[in-house]
Amino acid sequence: MTTEEEAREFIAAVKKEHYKANHNVSAFAIGDKQEIQRSSDDGEPSGTAGIPMLEILKKRELTDVVAVVTRYFGGIKLGAGGLIRAYAGACNHAIDAAELVRIVEQTQLDLTMAYPLFDNVSRFIATSGLVISDSVFTSEVQMTVFVDTDQVSQLMQDLTEQFSGKLTMALRDKKLVEVDI
């Protein structure tokens, strides 16, 4: 979710799916620095459900995320402390079970080289923690790697120094990718 509207649509979809539930408590944090934060107790006593969930999202520094905890009343009154623990705990458990990712902008870097350099450049790329996404072998070798945009300049400098300027480098398109946390 990257907008408040998307977050609200998601919450509405969960409420529609669980329309017989007593409560669909929600919280969301949107923006790189959690600029948009909202929560709803959805009928639970004020401050006992949505705010504890929002605090979990903030504490775990999650962004562009929506959490909805659905509760069907089972005949046991939890009290304020019990509600806070239940909703915050459910939110925490869901986050622990989720596969969290970080969104990173990467730039395509095309490297062109003579055949004798291929193995050494491949090793250098691998030891830099990068993956070769494509290699084309014609009269020369063209290799494509995707690099975090904020690291492109340093990598290009390192490649130039390591291989004495014998590589041709070209920057191409940028893309957003998910990187496991």
Percentage of the chain lying above the pLDDT 70 cut: 100
pLDDT at 180: 78
Residue 90's pLDDT band, with cuts at 50, 70 and 90, is very high
- Which residue bears the tokens 């949107």? 30
Tokens for 50, please give them: 């949505």
**β-strand partners of 29:** 37, 65
The model's pLDDT over 122-163, given as tens digits with 9 standing for 90+, comes to 999 999 999 999 999 999 999 999 999 999 999 999 999 999
| Average of per-residue pLDDT across 11-17 | 97
Report the pLDDT value the prediction gives residue 181, as an integer from 0 to 100.
77
Residue 76: predicted pLDDT: 78
The arithmetic mean of pLDDT across residues 45-53, rounded, is: 96
| Extents of the domains making up the chain | 4-98, 102-180
Average pLDDT over residues 37-45: 95
Q: What are the structure tokens assigned to 151, written together?
A: 């690291």
* 12 has pLDDT over 90: yes
Mean pLDDT estimate for the chain: 94
Average pLDDT over residues 81-89: 95
Tens-digit pLDDT profile for residues 53-82: 999 999 999 999 999 999 998 777 888 999
Instruction: Assign domain 102-180 to its CATH architecture.
Output: 2-Layer Sandwich (3.30)
Helix (H, G, I), strand (E, B) or coil at 164: coil
CATH superfamily for domain 4-98: Impact, N-terminal domain (3.30.230.30)
131 DSSP 8-state letter: -
CB 180 within 8 A of CB 104: no
Tokens describing residue 93: 């458990």
Look at residue 85 in the predicted model and tell me its pLDDT. 95
